[in-house]
Amino acid sequence: TGEASSATGVNGAQDDDTAPGSGAVYVFARGGAAWTQQAYLKASNAETGDVFGASVSIDEDFLAVGASGEDSSAAGWGGVESDNGAPESGAAYLFERSGGAWAQASYIKAANTGASDAFGARLALSATTLVVGAAGEDSSATGVDGDGASDAAAGSGACYSARW
């Protein structure tokens, strides 16, 4: 999470240290008795303090990565990544491996993105289901599918799930 390259995407320049705390994920694959680096993954919108790699989960050819410090105010799947209107709201990224090569498949935000939510601080991936935690989310909703717009319970946290 402290990795500092400003590279974006897959297999960019690992030695560029102009974005402290942007984070990275290194994927290793085993061939026989040896492990080798298969990919160097960065967010498509890597910036200082994004903490990409705060959490990771892999299932077969899919890899989910949390970036709890990411700042976009986008909501849902595939929003505008460059809008930094919600500091430390967090994001999740879904990567897919095909023929041994990794590519970013999705950029994911909470449906009710808010500053300091830390969406992506924890996540889990299984088959076609992704669950993402937002430790700093402020809704006072309870149970499943409550009113996420209510910010009456500072830092109460939330969990989001999606299927594709």
Res 102: pLDDT: 97
Task: Give residues with Cβ within 8 angstroms of 69, minimum separation 6.
Answer: 21, 49, 50, 51, 54, 88, 90, 118
Residue bearing the bigger pLDDT, 15 or 124: 124
DSSP state of 128: T
Residue 164 to residue 24: CA distance in whole angstroms: 25
Res 152: pLDDT: 74
Closest CA to 40 of 8, 11, 80, 18: 11
8 touches 42 (CB < 8 A): yes
Q: What is the mean pLDDT of the chain?
A: 93
73 touches 113 (CB < 8 A): yes
Tens of pLDDT, residues 32-61:
999 999 999 999 999 999 999 999 999 999
What residue type is 72 in one-letter code? S
CA within 13 Å, CB half, 74 = 18
Residue 132 to residue 40: CA distance in whole angstroms: 22
Handedness of CA 3, 7, 64, 152 (dihedral sign): positive
| Residue 80 in tokens | 């505008």
Task: Give residues with Cβ within 8 angstroms of 134, minimum separation 6.
Answer: 90, 110, 117, 118, 119, 120, 121, 157, 158, 159, 160
CA within 13 Å, CB half, 18 = 5
147 falls in which pLDDT band (50, 70, 90)? confident
